[in-house]
Structure 1
Amino acid sequence: MTPRIFVTGAVGVTLWLAAAVAHAQDTAPAAPPQSRVLVVSGAAGSDEYAGRQKKWRETLVAQLTTRFGVPASRVTVLAEQAADGLQAATAVNLRQAIGTLKAAQRADDTLLIVLFGHGTFDGVDAKFNLVGPDLTASEWREALQGLPGRVVFVQTASASFPFLAALAGPNRVVVTATDSPQQKYDTVFGEHFVAAFTPEAPEADLDKDGRISIWEAFAYASDASKRYYQQRGQLSVERALLDDSGDGVGRDLAKAGDDGLLASRLFLDPDPATASGDPSVTLLIGRRNTLETELDELRRKKGFMPDDAYARDLERIIVDIARTSREIRRRIKS
């Protein structure tokens, strides 16, 4: 059994690593985390909008399967028309697709779900328009219940705001294009969210590390959507929100808050560190994953902790994550 070492900081990382490497021979290597994608292009309502949705979903899938290395076998697409090998975006097909994903998804994996189309709100619940009967936000929550791993749910349609509270939970990032269920106009957020993953938007990579986190894609799309209306001299009819703390409240790009910590650590492409072949790097990645899990647990306990205790533990974990990440980068470069 690996000794438990509680020394923190750079010395703690070194001691932990030495102890872990010494016992690594007795531990089978864990399979690297995987990313899966479900793209749902719902009822378009017009040929013009059908063409836009087709372009968005095809661009997103092309970028994720090439630039970001997500295998095509892990990408599921449902569209308005069952053609070119795609299934129709019906409630039945959607539930079957989610069931298949539940069976394949592991605790360390990430599932990205992106909805392109139209939404409605009847005063009680929001719906995403499918081919045939629609699914309400509550029905989406039931369908996703029990799905392991981390889930990123991006609802780019109009009247999408109620999905934020309905789907929020542990290990989830929920993004909505609107901050009100009364916003019933067509949105542009989906177009810009897709653009964040293309080479044509290098500014989406905020920290210039060559990768696009979910937070970076959200930030880029939020800012680009705002500029879309400003350039046309129009009042913005959409304001995107992101929740990853599980409270269902969320925040927009300009607002400070706890939301964004998980999203900023979630990437769809494989971690370059996992390809190093260095056992010590693999162990450090495991340590970082453990710390990130500890961070998520701490955030869920925030409401039950004194503010000073929460701030102290938060700082400790974030600093330890940063030091571990720095050590990973140093070993990869050496």
Structure 2
Amino acid sequence: MGFVWNMRRRAVWLVLLLACANAAHSETHAVVVSGLGGEKNYSDSFSAAAQSYATALQTLDNGEERIVLLDETAGRDQILTAIQERVEAANSSPSATLVLILVGHGTTDGSTWRFNITGPDLTTEDIVAALNPMSSGRQLVVLAASASGATLEALTQSQRVVVTATKSGGELNAVRFPEYLAAAMETSEADYDRNEILTMAEAFRYANARTQTFYEQQKLLASEHSRLVGDLAADIPVALLGSLKEAQDDPVVASLLAERLLLEEAFKALKARKQDLPTVDYYAQLEVLLLDIARMQQSIDAVTGWSETDAES
């Protein structure tokens, strides 16, 4: 029993490790839009936040054409075309993640939510129609704008994580959440598990907490309550940090990561055969994989400069 119990504990560790590895290396496509500010301070704030989001996403996928950043001069047709192009590209890779981030002002008229842009506004229906042609992979939709909670019911579905700056369409005031979300993507403080892979769950946790703290410190009644819906938030990365970010173009690291991907495939194959194997045989084979992956991870840590003290700091 002791052997099997230890193997099961190690299996849990392996699943967590592989989740991190998959998060760091799946193909990412994104459209980030800075909406119409109306006033210079809003325009500057939205633009800065959008730039932070795009820069963070580029650490995951340095193919420049995959991360599209549009400013407040972009109109509805340009935005929808950009989304369509990224959806088509993502469809060619079953494991791809599509990210859509809108930062700016939002309004609702009772029938739909509208994202304020140059010309005709982008509506909830526009967003749904643009995203639905994606046939596989995962989606992350972040609406860092006022009244965005009005979209939750329409946008929520499996394989999609939805983040809104407000809980409903009734929270109409300009929101603070976007700036704190931008800050989350630029600091290791938001990386709660210290693995240098910032997930949407971690970024949201950080931004949500900072938003609440702002209203408490200002002794104001909070006029915004951000929401996150979707089971995959902890699996979807939004940035690489620290040594992983610095080493993304290192050919040595790339080679090691390629070897680790082979071990991941071996793990998936073994997991698929679990029901056909005696329990002892399954966990014995799993132990071999655990040791191989542990050694591979040590090699990667040595090259990137990561150590146990990083995780404890």
TM-score (norm 2): 0.72
Structure 1 Cα separation of the partners of residues 296 and 50 of structure 2: 38
Secondary structure of the residue aligned to 1:169 is coil
State the AA in 2 paired with 1:60.
Y
Greater relative contact order, per chain length (Cα 8 Å cut-off, separation 6+): 2
The residue number in structure 2 matching 1:95 is 80
Alpha-carbon spacing, 1:33–1:185, altered in 2? closer, same or farther (3 Å): same
Displacement of 1:226 in angstroms is: 0.5
Instruction: Tell me the alpha carbon deviations over residues 7-36 of structure 1, each in whole angstroms, 9 at most, x when there is no partner.
Output: 99948x99xxxxxxxxxxxxxxxxx62112
Listed as ranges, the gaps of 5+ residues in structure 2 are: 12-24, 273-285, 300-313
Structure 2 Cα separation of the partners of residues 98 and 161 of structure 1: 21
More off after superposition, 219-228 vs 35-44: 35-44
Contact 2:256/2:296, CA 8 A, preserved across alignment? no
More off after superposition, 144-153 vs 263-272: 263-272
The residue number in structure 2 matching 1:284 is 263
1:187 to 175, 193, 196: 175
The residue number in structure 2 matching 1:328 is 293
Structure 2 Cα separation of the partners of residues 281 and 188 of structure 1: 40
The residue number in structure 2 matching 1:298 is none
2:29 to 27, 36, 48: 36
The residue number in structure 2 matching 1:79 is 71
- Does residue 111 of structure 2 align to residue 141 of structure 1? no
1:114 to 84, 90, 101: 101
Displacement of 1:324 in angstroms is: 7.7
Contact 1:36/1:70, CA 8 A, preserved across alignment? no
Correspondence list, 1:1-334, <5 A: 10=7, 33-65=26-58, 67-68=59-60, 70-81=62-73, 88=74, 90-105=75-90, 106-147=93-134, 148-198=136-186, 201-245=187-231, 262-268=232-238, 275-277=254-256, 281-286=260-265, 328-333=293-298
TM-score (norm 1): 0.68
Displacement of 1:281 in angstroms is: 2.5
Contact 1:288/1:325, CA 8 A, preserved across alignment? no
Instruction: Tell me the alpha carbon deviations over residues 288-333 of structure 1, each in whole angstroms, 9 at most, x when there is no partner.
Output: 678999xxxxxxxxxxxxxxxxxxxxxxxxxxx9x98896344321
Listed as ranges, the gaps of 5+ residues in structure 1 are: 1-6, 15-31, 82-87, 246-261, 294-320
Displacement of 1:287 in angstroms is: 6.0
Structure 2 Cα separation of the partners of residues 154 and 97 of structure 1: 16
More helix, by proportion: 2
Alpha-carbon spacing, 1:275–1:120, altered in 2? closer, same or farther (3 Å): same
Secondary structure of the residue aligned to 1:265 is coil
Structure 1 Cα separation of the partners of residues 98 and 270 of structure 2: 21
CA RMSD of aligned residues (A): 3.5
Structure 2 Cα separation of the partners of residues 278 and 46 of structure 1: 46
Alpha-carbon spacing, 1:329–1:205, altered in 2? closer, same or farther (3 Å): farther
Displacement of 1:275 in angstroms is: 3.1
Secondary structure of the residue aligned to 2:198 is coil
State the AA in 2 paired with 1:104.
A
State the AA in 1 paired with 2:57.
L
Structure 1 Cα separation of the partners of residues 140 and 129 of structure 2: 16
State the AA in 2 paired with 1:267.
P
Structure 1 Cα separation of the partners of residues 50 and 170 of structure 2: 26
Structure 1 Cα separation of the partners of residues 6 and 205 of structure 2: 31
- Identical-residue share of aligned pairs (%): 31
Corresponding residue pairs, total: 258
Secondary structure of the residue aligned to 1:193 is helix
Displacement of 1:186 in angstroms is: 0.3
Structure 1 Cα separation of the partners of residues 32 and 271 of structure 2: 27
The residue number in structure 1 matching 2:19 is none
Alpha-carbon spacing, 1:56–1:288, altered in 2? closer, same or farther (3 Å): farther
Contact 2:33/2:71, CA 8 A, preserved across alignment? yes
Contact 2:113/2:123, CA 8 A, preserved across alignment? yes
Instruction: Tell me the alpha carbon deviations over residues 122-174 of structure 1, each in whole angstroms, 9 at most, x when there is no partner.
Output: 11221111211112212211111121421110001011012222111121110
Contact 2:199/2:239, CA 8 A, preserved across alignment? no
Displacement of 1:221 in angstroms is: 0.5
State the AA in 2 paired with 1:285.
E
Secondary structure of the residue aligned to 1:212 is strand
